[in-house]
Amino acid sequence: MPRLTKKQKEVTQKYDFNKPYALESALDIVKDITHTRFDASIDLAIRLGVDPRKADQMVRGTVVLPHGTGKKKKILVLCTADKEKEAQEAGADHVGLDEYIQKIEKGWTDVDVIITMPSVMAKVGRLGKILGPRGLMPNPKTGTVTTEVGKAVQDIKSGKIDFKVDKYGIIHTTIGRASFSSEQLKNNGLELLSTIEKLKPPSSKGTYIKSISLSSTMSKGIFVDKNTAIGL
């Protein structure tokens, strides 16, 4: 059995790995045990009682976190010329169409989010093999294919995130940074969980939210008592 480092021993004394904690307590603990030189992300992993292999049990959505994610996202808007000014004024980092499609085809993907319009999806669609594996392909379900490109940019800049259950039935997403206060992280977490609750598929039977785990970039997971985080 490998030896624990001094820091790992200190962590084991601060909480019980097998015990569920109230959301507020779990947040205090994860902030206390996070000692990175960078502003670590704080993440929630929510295990759902769904079968993602069935189309009618796929859980996917978007939510605007009250306090944002703490990360500045670089946004590319692929749009027609008449929408370029709207996108630029909303704060998009890159705006254009054909020239950016050509750049992406050559391997450029230095952005976090791509927003486009229904009328140009025929052009954007051919980038699927490049953008899909990187999670950058625009999708109407996440609000990234829209005629209101300015609003879409503003929503993302203000903290809008999209989430999707993976093949194991888990939604894993960031709710902020270690520099956030516990109250800010709590508000973000509750907003996310409330949104996921509302997306429960009618065909899902039994317990919907099975477990919740909280962690930072470099920490182990802390189990969260569901009763303190859902149905509030």
Structural tokens at position 101: 């499609």
pLDDT at 156 > cutoff 70? yes
Domain with CATH 3.40.50.790 in the chain: 75-155
* Residue 67 DSSP SS3: coil
CATH architecture of 75-155: 3-Layer(aba) Sandwich (3.40)
pLDDT at 13 > cutoff 70? no
**Superfamily of structural domain 15-69+160-228:** Ribosomal protein L1/L10, rRNA-binding domain (3.30.190.20)
pLDDT at 95 > cutoff 90? yes
3-state helix, strand, coil split of the chain in percent (to 5) is 40, 20, 40
With beta carbons less than 8 A apart as the criterion, state whether 220 and 18 touch. no
Q: What is the pLDDT averaged over residues 173-183?
A: 94
* Residue 79 DSSP SS3: coil
Residue 172 has a pLDDT of 95
Q: What are phi and psi of 180, to 5 degrees?
A: -70, 155
Average pLDDT, the chain: 90
Rounded Cα gap, residues 165 and 171, in angstroms:
5
Residue 228 has a pLDDT of 86
Query: How many CA atoms does the CB half-sphere of 230 hold within 13 Å?
Result: 17
Domain with CATH 3.30.190.20 in the chain: 15-69+160-228
Q: What is the pLDDT averaged over residues 135-147?
A: 92
Strand 75-78 to 113-116 pairing: parallel
Kind plus residue range of the DSSP H or E element containing 224: strand 222-224
> Is the sign of the CA dihedral 22, 217, 174, 58 positive or negative?
negative
Instruction: Give the number of other Cβ atoms within 10 Å of residue 166's Cβ.
Output: 12
Residue 144 has a pLDDT of 94
Rounded Cα gap, residues 96 and 200, in angstroms:
38
